[in-house]
Structures are given as structure tokens and as C-alpha cells.
Amino acid sequence: MKFSSFWLLLASVVFQSACAQTPATGAARDHDRFVDVKQFVPSVQVDIRYYTTNNFVGTRIDGYKAPKCLLTKEAAIALRNAQEELARNRRSLKIFDCYRPQRAVDHFVRWAKDLGDQKMKAEYYPFTDKANLFRDGYIAAKSGHSRGSTVDLAIIELDDGQELDMGTKFDFFDPLSHTASSRVSESQRENRLVLKSVMERNGFKNLKEEWWHYTLRNEPFPDTYFDFKVK
């Protein structure tokens, strides 16, 4: 009887150990489906703002250990197709953010709750009360970027390296950033439409509140929010 109880206990421990390892193994497999976009699409331009202080927080964001754009392979393939289409007109995509660790989103949330920190207000949210950033949807506890198939980007002219004028900068917290805003000029609206058209033709959908924000329509991890570091 004692012998039998010992083997039952041992079997239980082995089973629990195997179960505990399964999610980690699965997570590793999922992580392997991400690629470094600059290596995958060498011609694309990359300006990862959250690795720098040139962003609405004013400091490097948690989880960004390298200025890299990481995306799921599916999103990277679609992005490559968009880049190839633009290249035929001597243009290129310029990427500001790709995969975003959950710890980075948590950093944004902490910053938004600190109403005393207003050092980047004049540049990124001059007409928006910081106390309303959650209410107005500019900051949230979860981001589609953490699922690995969302990208923030603009278009540049290859001949001079200049960005097309979109009417606002990236991450400008204001209704003026809405893709279809009627407050921007005709040429700025046309530039937004050029970006929207090429991205939609290649499998992405736009977030209407942000002209720069695109998510792969058939993203492979629609319910998974990753937290591995960008490095």
C-alpha cells in the first residue's frame, strides 16, 4: 500500500511538472514567429521612437533594449509587399513602432497617471488635458502592438528622405490625427490616403483615430499580448 502511494505521488509530480512546462514551450514557439523587419525588408526605414527620448513620455520606454522593429512573420511579409509597391514610385515606408512589449504599455499607463509630468505636452498634446488621455482613448491598458502584427509608420520620398506631410507628427494626441480629419489641408489628406491605400491593398487595416496605425487583418495572435523585450 505504501509502495503504491509513493508511485502515485511520483506520477502526480511528474505530470504537474510537464504541465507547467507546456506554456513556456508554446511561448517559445510563438516568439520564433517574430522577425526583425530591417533584416527581412532591408530597404525599409526605421526610427523606433520608444528606444529614444523623442516620444510623448520624453524618456526611453521599458522593454526597448534595441532600436528594432519586430513583427510576426505574417505581418512582415505583408509589409514587404507594401514596401515593394512604394519603391516603384521612389518612396519608402518609415517605421516608428512595431511590436510593443506589455511592460511598455504599463509604462505609458504609469506616465499618464502622473499628471505632474507635463514636459512633452507642448510637442505631443498641446490641446489635450493629460487627465483625459484615458477617457479619450489615447492611452489604454492593452495595445494591439503587443500582439505583434501592428505597425506605426509614414512614407518618405527616396530622393530627399523627407516624410510626406501628414498634417501632424506621429503620436500627436489630438482629433487632428484622425485619418479622415477635415481640419488638415487637401494635400495632407491626400498623403494620408496614399498611405492608407497601399497598406489596405497589402492586408492591413487602419485605426481611424491615428493616421499612422495599421494592423494586419488576419493577425496570427489576435488574443495574445506578449511581453518579451525588444532586443
Amino acid at 50: Y
Is 186 designated active site?
no
Output 130 or 17, whichever has higher pLDDT.
130
pLDDT in tens, 47-79: 999 999 999 999 999 999 999 999 999 999 999
125-178 tens-digit pLDDT:
999 999 999 999 999 999 999 999 999 999 999 999 999 999 999 999 999 999
Helix axes 186-201, 73-87, angle to 10 degrees: 130
Q: Cite the DSSP H helix spans in 32-128.
A: 37-40, 73-87, 102-113, 121-124
Q: What pLDDT does 30 receive?
A: 63
Given 85, 123, 190, 210, which residue is catalytic? 210
Give the predicted TM-score (pTM) of the model.
0.87
Rounded Cα–Cα distance for residues 30 and 2 (Å): 43
The one-letter code for the residue type at 226 is F
Per-residue pLDDT band for 29 (boundaries 50, 70, 90) equals low
Spatial CB neighbours of 123, under 8 Å, sequence gap ≥ 6: 56, 169
